Structure 1
């Protein structure tokens, strides 16, 4: 099994990897197919109009998560890694005004978002909770092409056909790429580490270097951390009300200033590390909620956990350096790949245990590794963090990635550091294997009511409004 570190850590924009980045990517894939010659185009037919419908969780929380906006941007030829967050609203407004799109390499297509983009809450698609249908019509409104895509978490998008093939082989992320250490689960990962004498980061690096040169891998890892660090810094510099209508105020800068004042006054603070962890995580997720540039880790909704723990590592541990940051990311990616392949990182599929729970497990593993933990201790750290997120629902108020998501990232980061600290003080032996925790998460997500899986139909999303 091979899932690249850059599949899990994608640079994009907020507020959601599955609900924002996924729909934008899917629209781009549909445009790519329209531009090609591999679809059954009727003789002489020309595409004149495009349209899309969002289903399931995408329909229920699409407005709050910016899914409608993302499709418009995708039809405009934008992609998550390159779109300028500061220009996005102007692009969307311009398309709504002229009711057409002109993506690069394409002619003009008629597209009126008010009519041609439908949030269909009545018709769920069978493959996944995050389903989308794209349409192309000629000038006489004859349907020329229809394609269904699914956003399966963390910005991953698969077509209907790809999803069926993936289910047949047992995993959406299992690919045919051969690598020296093809561990499919944590037990295999530990066995391979024991036989080889290598760390988890070293095995992951060797696997990655079968796909790219080492210099390219390091440059990519450094770019991921640079984007994460920049997101923290932007979040710490911003103030005001976040968009969406809840009027939730940004708090990271104010809390940061209070901590700086305590630092200057040399006031004792026994919770100092936890405070910094929380502020770093909140800064990232406030940026995400505002539609800023973030890195999926493994999702946008959980994007603050990993950067917060990594910044904590650099802040409080004098031995931390850039090489250790790379090892942190590689170790975290190894654990994240196992979780995604054997359960899910999608809140719409398994609730927030799959988002913040996975992020906390990944961060705990990465921190334990750079603190000198053995592979067994690293696996233990990931298990502790994941176990204590099991059953967590995804119930965003008003469909916005603000309440409880921002604070939930802060607590996920605190749990990750605690898990790593507990694990490294032991010898790696423990009662519950990581694989058991992952399987428990999968089963719990399967049994969880749909109203607690990113639909805003239950939990805080209902009771806060009623209060």
Structure 2
């Protein structure tokens, strides 16, 4: 079963499903070649991208991510400043250092294909990797699905899941206090007398020492802070051809110069700043933390920055509690719906992140478990049906501003929940089920294909 840390992975922009997942899949493929003593026999590797990976792969940097994975790089370890140079070297020499140890021929145009016509039956983010020997014979072949948030499943994984469901088997869960639904989570808190973060803590320390868990959470918070800091000092035009200008640095200077403001809504300007800074870094291919995806990476840090700067009682202990609650809520969406924009639209990315942030903020502000679940429900309820229609296939418009708006929505959802007693007509479980059905009913052109919505109305050709 998932750890909450799985929903906050350190990686690179611009997309968890289109860059982080494919990089992991490519590296895993090479690792398997090595394990089966096939790496030394490999003379060529061909990769084909399908569905959403093909339709928006150029704008999302999927091709670069695959090449980096084939070279043995990981999303959390790759030097982001070296990426463009290394990709350029492959294009110039037509050679790729497979797994960091074997140079093979690689033609970017012929060995990395974007198949925009084949229909994907299992998941819209599909890729196939094939390794050949010097005679052109197939050594290994693997079909992989990037299912959102950087998570990947092989075709064998999918078949195993289907077989288990057909047999009525549930996925093993070794946590001392398991939960798969909001009702389960509420029951665990009533059983233990603990808040949601307390239940998560008991589950996490059953896997690893508590100091390690705490350290891993704070490490992610540190990366988020560094991302905001870099976003607040970096200017220029974002890559990709839309000529979107970074705004966070100018906004930061403006807020610094303004000082103490009498405007009662001035705090929201800071929330906007934090979200813009993160998502501009993401759009530029910088270091970010998935939360639960890259496209929605600005919301969790923006709301946490708001709490740390403007709310009483802020502390590192509450940072750990915030991440714990947010991760628990992410599990509910992952388990019962989806966090993939290509599968359910942006309600599965920005909507989920807003729900996570709203619930997490509510607990650290002293809310009850029922108020936490209500805040999460309110935030998602008002993101239902949100489409994923990036202009030009880039995670820029409307994605960057959308994170800022959703961060404010998360804070307001928390305040609404805290103003009541936690009793509400629509449960979190019901709104998650509604989100899943809404995503299933949504036209495919509105789910990260850049073939509908703003992507078509603005009439920008994918770069």
TM-score range (shorter-chain normalised) is over 0.9
Partner of 2:366: 372
Point out the more displaced range, 220-229 or 271-280: 271-280
SS at match of 1:86: helix
SS at match of 1:372: coil
- Give the Cα separation in 2 of the matches to 1:236 and 1:37: 47
Partner of 2:267: 273
Matched, 1:151 2:158: no
- Give the Cα separation in 1 of the matches to 2:162 and 2:272: 38
SS at match of 1:409: helix
RMSD: 1.7
Partner of 2:118: 123
Partner of 2:18: 19
Point out the more displaced range, 443-452 or 141-150: 141-150
- Give the Cα separation in 1 of the matches to 2:164 and 2:195: 29
Paired residues in the alignment total 458
Alpha-carbon contact 2:240-2:394 (below 8 Å) kept: yes
Alpha-carbon contact 1:51-1:117 (below 8 Å) kept: yes
Partner of 1:456: 450
- Give the Cα separation in 2 of the matches to 1:351 and 1:247: 25
Q: In the alignment, which of 219, 222, 226 is matched to residue 223 of structure 1?
A: 219
Q: Deviations over 1:267-321 (max 9, x none)?
A: 4112112111111001000000000000000000000000000000001013101
- Give the Cα separation in 1 of the matches to 2:83 and 2:382: 38
- Any stretches of 5+ residues in structure 1 without a counterpart? none
Q: How many angstroms does 1:406 deviate by?
A: 0.3
1:229-240 equivalence runs, <5 A:
229-240=225-236
Alpha-carbon contact 2:376-2:428 (below 8 Å) kept: yes
Q: How many angstroms does 1:96 deviate by?
A: 1.7
Q: In the alignment, which of 34, 53, 64 is matched to residue 59 of structure 2?
A: 64
Partner of 1:347: 341
Q: In the alignment, which of 287, 293, 298 is matched to residue 287 of structure 2?
A: 293
Partner of 2:46: 51
SS at match of 2:76: coil
Partner of 1:261: 257
Q: How many angstroms does 1:345 deviate by?
A: 0.4
Partner of 2:185: 189
- Give the Cα separation in 2 of the matches to 1:20 and 1:99: 22
Partner of 2:378: 384
Alpha-carbon contact 1:57-1:348 (below 8 Å) kept: yes
Q: How many angstroms does 1:169 deviate by?
A: 4.1
Alpha-carbon contact 1:72-1:113 (below 8 Å) kept: no
SS at match of 1:146: strand
Q: Deviations over 1:354-405 (max 9, x none)?
A: 0000000000011001001111110001000010000000000000000000
- Give the Cα separation in 2 of the matches to 1:152 and 1:53: 17
Partner of 1:108: 103
SS at match of 2:232: helix
Partner of 1:437: 431
Alpha-carbon contact 2:27-2:99 (below 8 Å) kept: no
- Any stretches of 5+ residues in structure 2 without a counterpart? none
Alpha-carbon contact 2:271-2:404 (below 8 Å) kept: yes
Q: How many angstroms does 1:234 deviate by?
A: 0.6
Point out the more displaced range, 438-447 or 111-120: 111-120
- Give the Cα separation in 1 of the matches to 2:413 and 2:267: 14
Partner of 2:79: 84
Matched, 1:420 2:414: yes
SS at match of 1:366: helix
Q: In the alignment, which of 239, 243, 247 is matched to residue 251 of structure 1?
A: 247
Q: How many angstroms does 1:45 deviate by?
A: 9.3
TM-score, length of structure 1 as denominator length: 0.95
SS at match of 2:239: coil
TM-score, length of structure 2 as denominator length: 0.96
Alpha-carbon contact 2:142-2:154 (below 8 Å) kept: yes
